[in-house]
Structure 1
Amino acid sequence: MSLSSEIENTTAHVASPVKRVATRAIFFVTGMAMGLWAALVPYAQLRTHSEAGDLGLLLLCLGAGSLLSMLGSGRLIGRFGCRAVIIASVVLYCLMLPLLATFSDIWLLALTLFIFGMGIGLADVAVNVQGTLVEQASDKPLMSGFHCLWSVGCIAGAGGGALLLSAGITPQGSTWFTIALVAIITVYSYRGLLPFGAHEEEEPVEGKTKARPNFRLMLMSVMAMICFMAEGAVLDWGGVFLTRERGLALEHAGWGFAVFAIAMSLMRMTGDAIVSTLGRKRVLVVGGMLGIAGYLMVVLLPGWIFPLCGFALVGIGAANIVPVLITLAGQEKVMPVNMSVALVATLGYLGVLGGPALIGFIAHLSNLYVGFSAVAAAFLVILFGAYQLKYQ
């Protein structure tokens, strides 16, 4: 069968349950690989004898690798299709996992982590492109459910890795167990992965002016960036705020991000139904309002219970914003789906990398109250954007 015939045949069945299950599976296994790395971080610090500052720079390699691969992901997906890019990226990050549990030289570990990040970033964009195409063909909201499986995978990877390590399995052994599970799930999902990366009618025409992002796509990118920044703020600064400013015991510092992540996961489980009921515009508006309310609760109300509730409220509000933005990006006609989704995902990811650093800079000049208030103010852009976007 020719490639064009295969594309035509597959396009007619993009909305099939097999495609939906395969999309969820890749979201899950990629999240699981990330979660396992979280469980391996303390062992990496012990092997390399790295200080906190060195470890911070080491962890930055993961983000740098992800961002670099995301920058070229749209073109790769458009040329080779979702299936080929997903399989290549899964193989890439699986090959790196045992090395992450082995290397004691900090430079070798940094290089490995950089390549691991490239695999994660590439898989992230490719599966979002596939998810967008599957959702469009099914004509009903699916993206929140897809993203929920990423969160579940992170929990499974971190929690399962911790259980394996607690049971006496070596770090290397836990990676091989994870690789085997990823391989089984990926092979099972293979036939449900799309061999193309955009709608057939979106293929570039020779001599046609190169497509460029419009105002709405750039606005979506900024909105996604703010949402990722809000998540990074809770992850990197939530525990510091709770312990230093609210008197929470140091051993309970992780509860800030825990309640945020749990609230986000639960909301994404029901996110598709919420989008169907409220519509995408209302989801963005309500999500932005809850994000503002949550951060204001964190900085204005006393004690540590109210800030914990505030972080949970931020998780509820932010949960479905990015999935909705990915869907809307795929509906813009000025660029092929693979390029528009890659643009929003890549620029949005800058919020994870640069957001916490910006908040730290603000806190250095003033305090974390001002830093979190700045994040609350940034959610106003999401409210503004909700009324500027086009909905189908």
Structure 2
Amino acid sequence: MNDTTTHSAATASRFIDAGRWAISTIFLLNGVGIGLWAAHVPTVQARMGINTGMLSMVLLTIAAGALLAMPLMGGLTGRWGTRRMVLVSGFAFALMLGVIMMVPNLQLLFGAAFLFGVSNGALDVAMNANASEVETARGLPTMSSFHGFFSLGGLFGAAIGGVLIGQGWGHGQGALGMALACAVILALVTPRVMGFAPHADGASHFALPRGAAVGLGLLALLCFAVEGALVDWSALLMRERTGASEASAALGFSAFSIAMAACRFAGDRLIVRFGAVRVMVLGGLAMFAGLALATTSTHFALSACGFALIGLGAANVVPLLIGAGGRIPGMSPGAGVAAVATLGYGGLLLAPPVLGWVAMHSSVTMALGMLSLSGLVIALNARILKHK
């Protein structure tokens, strides 16, 4: 009897570990796709002959598609299960990754951008919901490492995109090849993605933020706002404060990205050792201190260290909030994740234009300096995790 129990436990453990690495691979592939697209944005702009304003509308269309898909996917994961939705949205994302960089005219680019956003938003919710279920099955913090694979994939995707463009394959040929490779890898890991019983509560509604998800989502919004602001404004801040060249100024965001990826892989161990609340408090304080350093220093190295400190602080905040969203009582993991992610993603949309308005009337330094208060708000409200 004991031998049978031990054998069953070992089999279950191997099954869960296989599911963990399968969904980790999908996080990696999603990151690769986003990094690949980011590297191709200037190439797509040049090929279409559009100005910065029109490009901004294309990027906004992607974000709009994602925002529309997230609450819908929250309901679908509850009805059909996270495994099925991960696979459907994963293959759709791989398809649109190839299409968006090969369309021949502006009208089709807007259509492809919307569908690319829809597939990415849907995959974001589905894979995070499945990851939350895997984390629960393991009984150990795991979400940070999943997001670490996404960050690592983003770095890989951007690097691969740069190589493809450098080889003259930047007009869609290389992206199509990468999309096919992602689809093949997705098919190979499909049998290992864990399937969980659907949750009836997600069967008939959009997973709009409600109840406990609102507080979690608002904190996620603040963290995403910092990330979105750094994408658009970090290089300008470096040039304004330190006088760095265009090439050197880009290193600020690189320091942020590398620090974030590294800390996410260490995040699960940190949470086990220090607890989720303490990790989130320290994360918020690090975000505040990093932004303060980056916006006040006139020395290149200190400013870069500030961006790295922001990455270290922000690394585990969103994984903790997303994981908590997947454990809200009375909501399916997909519905909870979708609700938190929908609000959080709004930060990526709102922060750049709002900060741009502030910068226009003052300076980039002032705009990002005001945003540093987000870290304090996150730290002061970290105890919200104790109730999830």
What does the per-residue CA deviation read over 1:293-316, in whole Å, with 9 as the maximum and x for residues that have no partner? 011112222222222111110000
SS across alignment from 1:204: helix
Query: Offset at 1:375?
Result: 1.2
Q: Does 1:76 align with 2:73?
A: no
Query: Offset at 1:227?
Result: 0.6
Query: Offset at 1:133?
Result: 0.4
After superposition, residues 153-302 of structure 1 pair within 5 angstroms as 153-169=153-169, 171-196=171-196, 202-204=199-201, 213-214=210-211, 216-302=212-298
Query: Offset at 1:197?
Result: 6.4
TM-score of the superposed pair, with normalisation by structure 2: 0.91
CA distance in 2, matches of 1:104, 1:118: 21
One-letter amino acid of the counterpart of residue 99, structure 1: V
CA distance in 2, matches of 1:258, 1:48: 28
Q: CA, structure 1 residues 386+345, in 2 after alignment: closer, same or farther (shift >3 Å)?
A: same
One-letter amino acid of the counterpart of residue 368, structure 2: F
What does the per-residue CA deviation read over 1:258-304, in whole Å, with 9 as the maximum and x for residues that have no partner? 11001101101111111111110001100011011011112222222
One-letter amino acid of the counterpart of residue 270, structure 1: A
CA distance in 2, matches of 1:65, 1:203: 26
Q: Percent identity?
A: 33
CA distance in 2, matches of 1:195, 1:139: 17
CA distance in 2, matches of 1:94, 1:389: 34
Q: Does 1:372 align with 2:368?
A: yes
Query: Offset at 1:125?
Result: 0.6
Residue matched to 1:329: 325
Query: Offset at 1:86?
Result: 1.6
Q: CA, structure 1 residues 249+204, in 2 after alignment: closer, same or farther (shift >3 Å)?
A: closer
Residue matched to 1:3: none
Residue matched to 2:9: none
Q: CA, structure 1 residues 172+13, in 2 after alignment: closer, same or farther (shift >3 Å)?
A: same
One-letter amino acid of the counterpart of residue 139, structure 2: D
What does the per-residue CA deviation read over 1:159-196, in whole Å, with 9 as the maximum and x for residues that have no partner? 11222332343533212321232122211211222444
Q: Is the Cα contact below 8 Å between 2:260 and 2:315 reproduced in 1?
A: yes
Query: Offset at 1:14?
Result: 9.5
CA distance in 2, matches of 1:94, 1:15: 26
Residue matched to 1:9: none
One-letter amino acid of the counterpart of residue 297, structure 1: L
Residue matched to 2:8: none
SS across alignment from 2:103: coil
Q: Is the Cα contact below 8 Å between 1:31 and 1:154 reproduced in 2?
A: yes
CA distance in 2, matches of 1:211, 1:171: 38
SS across alignment from 1:342: helix
SS across alignment from 1:102: coil
Query: Offset at 1:351?
Result: 0.7
Query: Offset at 1:38?
Result: 1.5
> Please, which runs of 5 or more residues in structure 2 have no aligned partner?
1-11
RMSD: 2.3
Query: Offset at 1:34?
Result: 1.1
Residue matched to 2:121: 121
TM-score of the superposed pair, with normalisation by structure 1: 0.90
SS across alignment from 2:326: helix
What does the per-residue CA deviation read over 1:69-127, in whole Å, with 9 as the maximum and x for residues that have no partner? 11211101111221221222122222223332222322211110110111111001100
SS across alignment from 1:245: helix
CA distance in 2, matches of 1:68, 1:168: 35
Residue matched to 2:4: none
Q: Is the Cα contact below 8 Å between 1:15 and 1:134 reproduced in 2?
A: no
Q: CA, structure 1 residues 345+354, in 2 after alignment: closer, same or farther (shift >3 Å)?
A: same
Q: CA, structure 1 residues 77+96, in 2 after alignment: closer, same or farther (shift >3 Å)?
A: same
